[in-house]
Chain A
Amino acid sequence: MPDFKDIYVERYTKLLGKEWDVFKEAIVTPFPSSFRINTLKGKHHEILKRLEDKGWKIKQVPFYKDGFYFTEKRDFVLGNTLEHFLGLVYIQETASMIPPVVLAPKPGELILDLTAAPGSKTTQMAAMMENQGGIVANEKELSRLASLRMNMQRCGVLNSVVTQMDGRAFKILDMQFDKVLLDAPCTGTGTIMKSPHTIKTWSVKASQIMSSIQKQLIQSAVHVLKPGGTLVYSTCSLEPEEDEENIDYAIKKMGLKMENIKLDGFKTREGITSWEGKEYSPDVSKSIRVYPQDNKTEGFFVAKLVKE
């Protein structure tokens, strides 16, 4: 068991009460690996049959028909298979499949993925859109563009343009999208099982700095969103400063309205409505927290907002 900082223990005890003991085990425990069938490269049932014929022991993710996880330990590396080479499967954490499912992009719509690398959600959205309509897949960091492009290429994405811009620059552009996905850069405290160093590098200050950047990205996202359009905000952090506080900001300062999120067969918790003496809008509770102990996934936060 790693050494959690005192402040971390204190905060999560406040968030979870007696559940802290369960959480601290779950947040460092590797979870079943998962992947997505890529329907841009083949029909769902044909790819699934192929995987079953190869003896893959898998089960469908309850809230998403193309998502699967392994039910038994594998003796092979998924990334070294022919199916991965061909782009028939895409390695993706289960919780990371939630934001596109909540955004629900449709064929013909115009979508902005404001912080797109490495492209898991971009490629998922392209598949949901059947390669129709258009996606702007934006990534600020040059070093992350190669993986974004590689993944989009392998998945056969035809309906996307890759841009390299600071996401905050979109707030001066005269253009509009039907839907925006803001899977914001974050401190990543929901992914400690994958990135144990996060325990050492995380601090309250780091979350506060990140929160400020995230609010600026929300401003950009709202600026280019059509009236009536949907914004999905998500992070793989469980810190309220990076999650509920920003949704409260989007409601009170940007005038967005919250919508409910329902994921069949998948346990989620309501967003919290107060933290460290701050009271958030009651509607913030419509956002969801995904704790690792609930479904054996990464920790995640997702909110669905509409521009009136």
Chain B
Amino acid sequence: MRILSRRETEVFEAKIETLYGVKKSLREFTVLLSGKDEKIWIANQELFQIPIEKLRINSVGLYFGRIDSGRLRLSVEGTGIIGPKADKNVVELDDEHLWDFLRGFDIELKEKVPETNDYVLIKHKNDWLGIAKVEGNTLKNALPKSRKIVSLTR
């Protein structure tokens, strides 16, 4: 895991701006990238007052997302950070679809959503729930297994 330079961070910011219309989205964070899986982590800057190089590190900060075949795949929390400022590639679910999404099911929409090769952000009212891929009228659920809720309480 290594800390990215400002210039390296700007590459991700540019991608987020193109996809979701959010400018300088990572400016307030220190951004880190972990090895082979290209996972992106964000942390507050004060954390680095701790000489972490002396420690056996497992992870630093919050998992923001990862690059998946060239696409930015945000975590649920990454979606929560970017979503409230996003002005495109956002799909809002109704009550019925909310529960299906949280259970990990794909969603059949009545209306077609503009297709994109990248992930769209999923929201319900003011809650940001994660991401999905658009295929025709279908939202392909991209919730990680660990976040799916098997038995829901409404």
Residues B62 and A77 in contact, CB atoms below 8 Å apart: no
Interface residues in A, total, Cβ within 8 A: 37
Q: Does B117 contact A (CB under 8 A)?
A: no
Kindly supply a per-residue 1/0 record for chain B positions 46-60, scoring 1 wherever the CB is within 8 Å of any chain A CB and 0 otherwise: 111111101111111
Q: Could you jot down 9 A-B contacts, CB within 8 Å?
A: A80-B149, A80-B151, A134-B46, A134-B47, A150-B146, A153-B77, A158-B62, A162-B57, A163-B57
- The smallest C-beta distance from A303 to any residue of chain B, in angstroms, reads 25
Docked complex: A34-86 residues within 8 A CB-CB of B: 41, 76-78, 80-82, 85-86
Q: Does B152 contact A (CB under 8 A)?
A: yes
User: CA A182 – CA B55 in complex, angstroms?
Assistant: 18
Q: Which residues does chain B contribute within 8 Å of A134, judged by CB atoms?
A: 44, 46-50
User: CA A149 – CA B34 in complex, angstroms?
Assistant: 15
Residues A158 and B61 in contact, CB atoms below 8 Å apart: yes
Q: Which of B48, B50, B129, B150 has the most CB of A within 10 A?
A: B50
Give the residue name and chain of the B residue nearest to A87 (CB). B77
Q: Looking at chain B, what size class is its interface with the partner chain? A: 35 or more
Q: Does B12 contact A (CB under 8 A)?
A: no
Residues A159 and B43 in contact, CB atoms below 8 Å apart: yes
Residues A77 and B44 in contact, CB atoms below 8 Å apart: no
Q: Is chain B's binding surface mostly helix, strand, loop or mixed?
A: mixed
Which residues of A are at the interface with B, using a C-beta cutoff of 8 A? 41, 76-78, 80-82, 85-87, 108, 110, 131-136, 145, 149-150, 152-154, 156-165, 173-175
User: CA A86 – CA B42 in complex, angstroms?
Assistant: 18
Q: Does B102 contact A (CB under 8 A)?
A: yes
User: CA A145 – CA B60 in complex, angstroms?
Assistant: 13
Give the residue name and chain of the B residue nearest to A164 (CB). B58
User: CA A150 – CA B76 in complex, angstroms?
Assistant: 12
Kindly supply a per-residue 1/0 record for chain B positions 1-12, scoring 1 wherever the CB is within 8 Å of any chain A CB and 0 otherwise: 000000000000
Residues B102 and A77 in contact, CB atoms below 8 Å apart: no
A-B interface, 6 closest residue pairs, ranked by CB to CB distance from nearest: A76-B153, A134-B47, A162-B58, A80-B153, A163-B55, A162-B59
- The smallest C-beta distance from B92 to any residue of chain A, in angstroms, reads 15
Determine which of A76, A153, A161 lies in contact with B47 in the assembled complex, contact meaning CB atoms within 8 Å.
Answer: A161
Q: Does B63 contact A (CB under 8 A)?
A: yes
